[in-house]
Amino acid sequence: MEGLGEVATWEMDMAGWHLVFNATTIMMTLVIVALLLLFGWQAARKRAPVPNLFQVVGELFVVTFWGLTRDALDEKLAKKYFPLICSLFMFLVLSNWIGIIPWMEEPTKDLNTTLGLGIMGFFIAHFCGIQAKGLKAYVKQYFEPMFFMMPLNVIGEIAKVVSISFRLYGNIMGGSIIILVVTYLVYGLLLPPFLNAFFGLFVGTVQAFVFTMLTLVYISVQVR
C-alpha cells in the first residue's frame, strides 16, 4: 500500500530546464500505438468479401463511428474529422483495457495523457469554430449575452477541458485504486478478477466512448 503515490520517472536537464518524464506512461503509450498499428495492418492486409476476424472488428469501428460523426457534423466536415474520432476511441479503449493484463498499466491512469488529449480536442474544436464562423463572429460569442460576461465565458470553455480530462483520469485512477485496495484486503482471493472486468472492461469502454463523444460534441457546438 505504500507504493500508492510513487511513479517511475526519467529525469533530464536540457537548456536550463529540469524535465521529468513519467516512464511508465511513455512506455505504455508506445505499446498501445504499436498494438494499434499491428491491428490496422492485420485488418487491411487481406481485404475480402468474407472478412477475417480483424477486418470484422475494424469495420465495426468504422461503421459505428462514421454514423455518429455524420449525425453530429455535416457530410464534408465528417469526412475530415472521422479519422480523428475513430482513432481516438480505439486508442482510449485499448488504453483502458490493457490494465487487466498483469504488469501492464493504463496510460489513461496518468493525468498527462488525458489532459493532453483534452487540450488537443479543445484546440481542434476552436479552430473549427473560427474556420466555420469567421474570427469576428467567433470572438463576438464570448461577449454574449452581455459584454462583462466575457471572463466567465472564457473560464467556461477552459472548464470543459478540465471536466473532460479529469472524468477519464478519475474513473481509471479510481478503478485501479479500488482494485488495489480490495486486492490487499482480501489477500488477492476471489474478488479481483470481477473488479478488473467491471472497472477495466465495462467502465473503461463507457468512459472511452464518453470522452470520444464529448470531443465530437464540442466540435459540433463550435461549428453550428
Partner 1 sequence: MTWENFEMIRAGAVLGAGFSVGFAAIGAAVGEGYAAGKASQTLAYRPELSGDVLKTMLVGQAVAETAGIFGLVIAMLLLFTPNAAQPTIAAWAFLGAGLAMGLSAIGCGIGAGLPAGSACLGIGRQPSASAQLTTLMLIGAGVAQSTAIYGFLIALLLLFKKLPDVVSMPGICALVGAGLAMGFGAIGPGIGEGIAAENAVYQVARNPENGTLLTRTMLVGQAVAESTGIYSLVIALLLILGT
Residues that bind partner 1 (CB under 8 A): 1, 4-5, 68, 71-72, 152, 155-156, 159-160, 162-163, 166-167, 170-171, 173-175, 177-178, 181, 202-203, 206, 209-210, 213-214, 217, 220-221, 224
Closer CB to partner 1, 124 or 160, in the complex = 160
Q: Which is nearer to partner 1, 35 or 213 (CB)?
A: 213
Instruction: List, as own/partner pairs, every contact residues 116-123 make where C-beta atoms lie below 8 angstroms and the sequence separation is at least 24, other chains included.
Output: 117/88, 117/92, 117/165, 117/211, 117/215, 118/161, 118/162, 118/164, 118/165, 119/161, 119/165, 121/161, 121/164, 121/214, 121/215, 121/218, 121/219, 122/157, 122/160, 122/161, 122/218
CB of 190 to partner 1, least distance (A): 20
Q: Which is nearer to partner 1, 54 or 209 (CB)?
A: 209
Per residue in 131-142, is it b (16+ CB within 10 Å) or e — as a string?
eebeeeeeeeee
Do the Cβ atoms of 25 and 110 come closer than 8 Å?
yes
Minimum gap (Å) between residue 116 Cβ and partner 1: 17
Neighbours of 41 (CB within 10 A): 10
Q: Report the residue number, 37 or 177, with the smaller CB distance to partner 1.
A: 177
Q: How far is the CB of 35 from partner 1 (least distance, A)?
A: 25
25 vs 114, beta carbon nearer partner 1:
114
H helix or E strand, kind and range, residue 12: strand 9-14
* 207 within 8 A of 171, measured Cβ to Cβ: yes
Measured from the CB of residue 57, what is the shortest distance to partner 1 in angstroms? 18
Q: How far is the CB of 196 from partner 1 (least distance, A)?
A: 15
Please, what is the minimum distance in Å from the beta carbon of residue 155 to partner 1? 6
- Whichever of 84 and 203 has its CB closer to partner 1, that residue is 203
Report whether 28 contacts 98 (CB < 8 A): yes
Q: One-letter amino acid identity for 189? A: L
SS3 102: coil
Closest separation in Å from C-beta 47 to partner 1? 26
The span from the CA of 170 to the CA of 96, in Å, is 12
Nearer to partner 1, 8 or 162 (CB): 162
